[in-house]
Structure 1
Amino acid sequence: MSDFEHFLLTRFAVRIKPGAPLPSDEWLRSRISIFEAICLPSVLRQSTQSFSWLLFVDSSVPVATRERLERVLPKNAEVVIVDAVCEERTIVHALLKRATKPYVVTSRLDNDDAIDPDYISIVQREIGRTPRVFLNFPRGLQYSRARLLAYRHASNAFISHVDARGPHMQTVFVDWHDRLARHGVIRQWSEREMWLQNCHGGNVKNQERGIRVSANQHRGRYPFLVLPSETQWGLLSDKAWTSMNLLRQVARNPKALRRLLPTRQR
C-alpha cells in the first residue's frame, strides 16, 4: 500500500437528495441493530485491516446514536458528520482531508449488508493503479428468511474504484451503482461470491432475486448469520422455487437480465 490509501465508505443515516426526510428514531434503532449484527462483524473479520472505514452520519442524528456507533467501531473506523446532502463532492471533501498518498481506492458497503473476509485484501490486490477504473465482484449472496441465495449483479452496491488523489477525483458514489459504466471501465472479478446482501424487509429495493444454495459452504465465512440446518428435499424444492421466481421476474421485466450479464466496458 505504498502509493494508495483504501477507504471503505458507508452511508449510515444521511440525506442522499435534497428535501429527503431523515429516518425516524424507530428506523435508527432497528438499523443500528442490523448494522451491529451483520455489517460490523463482516468488517471486523477482514483478513487485512489496512484500510480506513468512514461512516457518514447526518448532523441531526441523535448524539446517543452517534456515540453508540463510535463505541462499537474498530480503531480504523470513523464517524463523519455531514451537515447537508451526502453527495459525492461531500465524500470527496472528507477523503481529501484524510488521504495523503497518490491514489485513493474507495469501496462501498451499505449499513445492512456484509462482505467476504477477503474482500478488502482482494480489492487491494486486484484494483491496479489506472485512474477511474472500477472493480466489481459480480457473484454474491442474498440472505433472506434465514437462507442463502446465489445472486449476480454486473455493477452492484459492493463495487470499488481507484482514482488519483485530487480535488477532481471520483469515488464509488459518482453515480448510482448500476450506472457506473458511464464513468469508467468496470473490471470483473468472478472467482467466487464476495458479498452478502441482507433482505430483511426494511429495505425497499433488496428483494429475493437469487437462487437458493446450501448454506454449508458459507457458514465459516459468515458465522454471525442465523442459518438453520437444511434437509436435502427442502433445499432442492426451494432451489426450484427460487429459479422459477427469477424467471418470472425476468419475464415481467426483461431489462433485469442486464444485471446478470457483464457490464459493457468503455
Structure 2
Amino acid sequence: MITSEPAGSNAGATFEHFVLTRFNVRNRYYAGNPGDIWLRSRLALFEKYTAASFGAQTVKDFRWLVLVDSESPQWFRAELGVLGRELFEIVDIKGAFNAQAAAGVVASRLRTPFILTTRVDNDDAVARDFIESIQRAWRPVHQPYFINLVKGAQLADGRVYRRPYTQNPFVTLSEPRSADGLATVFVRRHYEVQAYAPVTNVGSDHPLWLQVIHGGNVLTELVGMRTRARAVEPWFACDLGARDRPLEFAREVMSGTARIALRLALKPRRVVNLGRALVARPIREP
C-alpha cells in the first residue's frame, strides 16, 4: 500500500493516488483484437513516452495501474510485464471497460480516506513533476472534485505545440472513501467532467503533459500553437526528437495563428475554455 501525504500543506490527511492507463481494452470506440502489428507499434510508443515519463517522476507515491483486456495475446502481456517491473501493475479487464470496472479495480486496492484517480493514455507523456503538481494542488475536501492541469503540449513529426486546455484527458478526480462506492476519473468523458463535479483548473509555468500525434490516434487532433522545442523538452524525461527549422517555424506560427482563430470562431465556447486555461494560476507553497 502507498499512503501519501500531499506535497502541499495538508499534512495528516492521507490519500492513495492511482494513475489509470487503458491498453487494449474494449469500449465504445474500440472493439479489441487489433492485431500484432498495432500492438507492437503501440507498445513502442508506450515505452518511449509513457513508461519513460512515469519512471522519472519527482514524487514516487502513486500506483500506476495499466488496464488490459483479459484476452490480450500472451506475448503482449509478457513484453508489457517486462516494462512494468517496479513501475506499474497490469490489471485484467474482462469484457467492455467502463467506469464501474475502473471503480472495482481501485476499490479492491484502497485503504485510505481519500482517493485520487488520474487518467493518462498509453501513447502520451507527462512532465517529471506531473504527479507532484497534482498532489500539491490536492485538498482534503469531502466531496468529489476534479484537478485539471491546464497547460500541456502536443508533439507531431518532430514539432512541438503549446496546448492550454481545460478539458484535457490528463484530469484527476479526488473523492472521499464512501460506503456508496467509488466513481473514479472515468465517471465522465474528460470533456464532460464539469457535469459531474466542480473542476479546479491549475496553471503552471511549463507544460505538464504532452499528447503525441501519430497515425494511430483515434480522437486526437492537432490544435496547439507552434513553440520552440527547447521550451518544452527539459521538462520531460522522454526523447521528443523535436527539431526547429527557422523558416518552417516562422511559417507555421503564422498559419497556426490563423488556424486557431478560425477554430475559435467556429465554436465560440472554445474562447471561454481558452480564457479559463490562460487565467489558471499555479498552486503556491504556503
Whether TM exceeds 0.5 here: the answer is yes
Equivalent pairs, count: 262
Give the equivalent residue in structure 2 for 1:77. Answer: 88
Give the equivalent residue in structure 1 for 2:230. Answer: 216
Give the equivalent residue in structure 2 for 1:143. Answer: 155
Give the equivalent residue in structure 2 for 1:201. Answer: 215
Deviation at 1:249, TM superposition (A): 2.6
Give the equivalent residue in structure 1 for 2:46. Answer: 35
Kindly, what percent of the aligned residue pairs are identical?
28
Query: CA 1:259–1:85 in 2, change beyond 3 Å: closer, same or farther?
Result: farther
CA contact (8 A) 2:25 2:32 kept: no
1:68 aligns with 2:83: no
In structure 2, give the amino acid aligned to 1:250: L
Give the equivalent residue in structure 2 for 1:50. Answer: 61
CA contact (8 A) 2:158 2:241 kept: yes
In structure 1, give the amino acid aligned to 2:172: S
SS of the equivalent of 1:11 reads strand
After TM superposition, the structure 1 = structure 2 runs for residues 7-22 of structure 1, keeping only pairs within 5 Å, are 7-17=18-28, 20-22=31-33
SS of the equivalent of 1:128 reads coil
Give the equivalent residue in structure 1 for 2:35. Answer: 24
List alignment gaps of at least 5 residues for structure 1. none
SS of the equivalent of 2:128 reads coil
Give the equivalent residue in structure 2 for 1:260. Answer: 274
After TM superposition, the structure 1 = structure 2 runs for residues 84-233 of structure 1, keeping only pairs within 5 Å, are 84-130=95-141, 131-166=143-178, 167-192=180-205, 193-222=207-236, 223-228=238-243, 230-233=244-247
In structure 1, give the amino acid aligned to 2:241: V
Distance 1:243 1:24 in 2: 39
Query: CA 1:189–1:183 in 2, change beyond 3 Å: closer, same or farther?
Result: same
Query: CA 1:19–1:235 in 2, change beyond 3 Å: closer, same or farther?
Result: closer
Distance 2:30 2:185 in 1: 23
Distance 1:202 1:17 in 2: 17
Give the equivalent residue in structure 2 for 1:246. Answer: 260
Deviation at 1:261, TM superposition (A): 3.9
CA contact (8 A) 2:148 2:199 kept: yes
Deviation at 1:258, TM superposition (A): 5.0
Structure 1 stretch displaced more, 116-125 or 18-27: 18-27
SS of the equivalent of 2:100 reads helix
CA contact (8 A) 1:154 1:262 kept: yes
TM-score by length of 2: 0.86
In structure 2, give the amino acid aligned to 1:55: V
TM-score by length of 1: 0.92
Instruction: Please tell me the root mean square deviation across aligned C-alpha atoms, in Å.
Output: 1.9
Query: CA 1:209–1:108 in 2, change beyond 3 Å: closer, same or farther?
Result: same
Distance 1:259 1:15 in 2: 30
Deviation at 1:48, TM superposition (A): 1.3
Distance 1:24 1:216 in 2: 37
CA contact (8 A) 1:140 1:150 kept: yes
In structure 2, give the amino acid aligned to 1:185: P
In structure 2, give the amino acid aligned to 1:196: L
CA contact (8 A) 1:114 1:195 kept: yes
CA contact (8 A) 1:199 1:207 kept: yes
